[in-house]
Amino acid sequence: MRVHQFVSYLHAPGDAVADQVYAFREAFHSWGWESQVFALEGERHVPIEWQPVQRCSEDRLTCADDILLYHYAGGSALTRLLQEIPGRPVIYYHNITPHEYVESFHQELASTLRSGREELLTLRHAPSLAASEYSRRELLELGFEQVHVVPLVLQLERLHTSAQTAAGQALIGRYSDGWVNWITVGRIAPNKCCEDVIRSFAYYQKFINRRARLFLIGGYRHFEAYQFNLARLTEKWGVEEVHWCGWTSFEDGFGAYYRLGTVLVSMSEHEGFCLPLVEALSFDIPVLAYSAAAVPDTLGDAGILMRHKSYEVIAELVQLLHDDHSMRSRLLEGQRERLKQFDPALTLERLREALLSCEWNQHGTY
């Protein structure tokens, strides 16, 4: 069996889409399946060899029986090129942020997101995989007929090891002082609603516990204006100890922030999966998250899901989790059980079963 993966841009490890490409490729080879990775572009230093999509099209490197697994996270010239490549297409849908969230900050990106969702409609003929039940429902509503849920393959060892790097140990040494450390992880982008985390933290710091700090770990490329507005808000409200960490690599000790965290707070309104929630589970950090998009699917019965954004309630819950050791212990026990559902072996078995069950017509389409 031959399963080839296609991605618009192949990033180095640490990118959510790229990490799935690497994990899938390793699994395919372990099953004895032939597999190559094709991309329009890629970073210079990646851990695998890959081929330009143009070469695949020109040199006919695939045949009609090959599965062409297309990692779809936005509109791309790859969608058109893939129609010219022999094989049977399968879509892995990572989801696309609705353009309304970013329109007021980056109109060009908003246009790209909008066209990406429109382009998705042209792929409805293909069997599909979705990273969450939320994404599966979205595809079904768009007219896709054959959709399987295959969550992200977790690769947590590298994250935990990063806390032991020199940079990670320096962070832990600096901030392990008994203070309450709020962390929120992910891009500093409008759909993440970081302002709601800051408002909740502001209440907590002013009325409950002054010995607290907030770490916002994530880059803000394309959203510099959004981050600037957030920083101005913290000044306006007189919030102290707000740390803008930016995008943090494993070498820079990324995992140390999870190690330091008293609680992870997420107020995001759109997620296709939300990997930081599961990463927090693996570090035994209580998770408090707004119940939107794929977040309920990812957390299941674990953590605390908020159906309303009451800043006072969020702040009081954080303190309750800090003070009430029995409640914290019960919550963490449930989170550990949930984490077991994302065992990579289980996820990869779902991937294998999904690919083997896909059906196409005589033309290679569903």
Tokens of 249: 């690599």
List pLDDT tens digits, range 117-147. 999 999 999 999 999 999 999 999 999 999 9
Best CA proximity match to 158, nearest among 351, 36, 15, 270: 15
CA-based R_g, the chain, Å: 21
List pLDDT tens digits, range 288-308. 999 999 999 999 999 999 999
Instruction: Give the range of the structural domain holding residue 314, as residue numbers without chain letter.
Output: 157-340
In a domain, 239, yes or no: yes
pTM of the entire predicted model:
0.94
What pLDDT, on a 0 to 100 scale, did the predictor assign at position 281?
A: 98
In a domain, 42, yes or no: yes
In a domain, 214, yes or no: yes
Residue 116 and residue 250 in one domain: no
Instruction: Output the domain CATH number for residue 250.
Output: 3.40.50.2000
Tokens of 69: 């697994």
Residue 333 and residue 256 in one domain: yes
What is the rounded distance in angstroms from the CA atom of residue 226 to the CA atom of residue 277? 23
Residue 195 and residue 324 in one domain: yes
| Residue 355 CB neighbours (<10 A) | 21
Does residue 366 carry a pLDDT above 50? no
Does residue 15 carry a pLDDT above 90? no
**Into how many domains does the chain fold?**
2
Task: Give, for 149, the enclosing helix (H) or strand (E).
Answer: strand 147-149
Residue 235 and residue 325 in one domain: yes
Residue 145 and residue 269 in one domain: no
In a domain, 295, yes or no: yes
What pLDDT, on a 0 to 100 scale, did the predictor assign at position 320?
A: 97
Q: What average pLDDT does this structure show over 25-50?
A: 95
What's phi and psi for 180, nearest 5 deg? -85, 120
Best CA proximity match to 247, nearest among 16, 89, 5: 16
Residue 144 and residue 287 in one domain: no
